[in-house]
Amino acid sequence: MVKGKYLLMGVLIVIIGIVFAVAVFPSEEKRVKKRFHLLSGWVSKSAEENSFTMLKKMKDIGTLFLEPCELKAPQESLSGSYTRQEISAYAGAARSHFSQLDFKLYDLHIAFPEREVAKVTLTTRLIGKLTSGEQVDEVRELECLLKKIDKKWFFSQVEVIEVLKK
Amino acid sequence: MAIHRRIRQFFFPSLTPMFLTRVFLVSLFAYLFFSYLCIPFTIQGISMEPTYPNGGVNFCWRLRYLLSEPQRHDVVAVRFAGSQVMLLKRVVAQEGEQVEFRAGRLYVDGKEIEEPYLRFPCDWNLPSRRVEKDCLYVVGDNRSMPIENHHFGQTSKIRVMGGPLW
C-alpha cells in the first residue's frame, strides 16, 4: 500500500515536470505558430482602433519578415522581393481600406525540411468590412517559409496557392 | 419496480468500470467518425444558393469518392490546406474537356449542358479552356453575381474531400 502511494506520487511529479518543461521551453513548432498568431493579431483591426495603435501594428507587422522577403501573390499584384518597410507600408495601405478586419488562421501544418527552416501551409480567412460598408470574406491557402535567425523565426517567403484556376 | 429501476439506471448510471469503458469507446468512435469520415460544417456564403443556402448545416462524407470519381453535376467539397475551411462547388467538367460559358449557358466540348439546379439568371461569358489532367472544373450554383466576384475554376482532384451528405 505504501509502495503504491510512493509510485503514484512519483508518477504525479513526473507529469508535473513534463507539463512545466513544455510550458517553459516551448517547442520550435510552438514558436513558429506564435509568429503566425502575432501576424493574425496585428493584421486584424477592431472598429475602435486609433491612429497610434494602427501605426504600431503597421510597424510590428514588418518585424515579422526577413529583409528582404519574397512574396508570390500574383492575384494580389504582389510578386518579388520586398523590404520590411515595403511590407509594413503595403499592410498599412491594405488595412486602411477596412473599418473592421479579422484575419483568421486554420489548418497550420508545420514541417522542418532543413535545420532552422520551417515550411508552413495554412488556410487564411479575411473577414472584414470596408470603409465603404461592403462586406469582405476571402479565403486563401498560403505556403510560407520561415528562417530562424538569432533564436527568432522570420517569414522569408510567402506564396498564395491557387486552389481554383479560372 | 424493475422498469422504475431501469429508468433510474438509464438517467443516473452507476460509474462501473464497464460503463466508463463504454463511454470511452463511444466518445472515441464519435471523435474519429466526425473528425475524419463525416465532417460537420456550416455553409457560409451564397455561392451555392438555392441548393445549399447560407447558414445551412451539412456533413462532408469523406468516403463518397473512395471507389469512384466525381461526375458532372456532383456537388463536392474542395479543401484548402486542411478540412477546417472547404469550398462547396458543383463539378461541371472533367479532365480533358473544353469548358466555356456563353451568355450564361454552360458548354462542354461545344455542347450545351442542361443545368436543372440553376434558379437565378446568369449572363456570364468565359472563353473556352481545357481542363488539365487530374483536375475538375467546379462552379457554384448561384451565378447571379458578376463572373469576377464568383470563386470557380479548375482544381486538382486530390483537393476533393468528399461530398455533402444531403
pLDDT of the residue at A106: 97
B87 to A164: CB separation less than 8 angstroms, yes or no: yes
Q: How confident is the model over B52-95, as pLDDT tens digits? A: 999 999 999 999 999 999 999 999 999 999 999 999 999 999 99
B81 to A106: CB separation less than 8 angstroms, yes or no: yes
The predicted model scores a pTM of: 0.85
* Alpha-carbon gap: A72 to the closest alpha carbon of chain B (Å): 17
Q: What is the mean pLDDT of residues B6-27?
A: 90
Nearest C-alpha in A relative to B87: A139
Nearest-angstrom CA–CA distance, A44 and B54: 24
In DSSP terms, B160 is beta-bridged to B78
B81 to A164: CB separation less than 8 angstroms, yes or no: no
Taking only the tens of pLDDT, chain A with its 166 residues reads 567 778 888 888 888 888 877 777 778 999 999 999 999 999 999 988 998 999 999 999 999 999 899 999 888 788 899 999 999 999 999 999 999 999 999 999 999 999 999 999 999 999 999 999 999 999 999 999 999 999 899 999 999 999 999 8
Which of B43, B76, B84, B148 to mutate against chain A (most A CBs within 10 Å)?
A: B84
Nearest C-alpha in A relative to B138: A164
Interface predicted TM-score (ipTM): 0.85
Q: For chain B, what are the domain ranges?
A: 37-164
Q: What residues in A contact B95, CB-CB < 8 Å?
A: none
A142 to B87: CB separation less than 8 angstroms, yes or no: no
CA A68 to chain CA mean position, Å: 18
pLDDT of the residue at B166: 93
Q: For chain A, what are the domain ranges?
A: 28-161
pLDDT of the residue at B73: 96
List, as ranges, residues 75-114 from A with C-beta within 8 Å of B.
106-109
A28-161 CATH fold: Nuclear Transport Factor 2; Chain: A, (3.10.450)
* Alpha-carbon gap: A140 to the closest alpha carbon of chain B (Å): 8
pLDDT of the residue at B8: 87
Q: How confident is the model over B115-160, as pLDDT tens digits? A: 999 999 999 999 999 999 999 999 999 999 999 989 999 999 999 9
B37-164 classified as CATH 2.10.109.10 = yes
pLDDT for B1 beyond 70: no
pLDDT of the residue at A2: 64
B138 to A164: CB separation less than 8 angstroms, yes or no: yes
B85 to A139: CB separation less than 8 angstroms, yes or no: yes
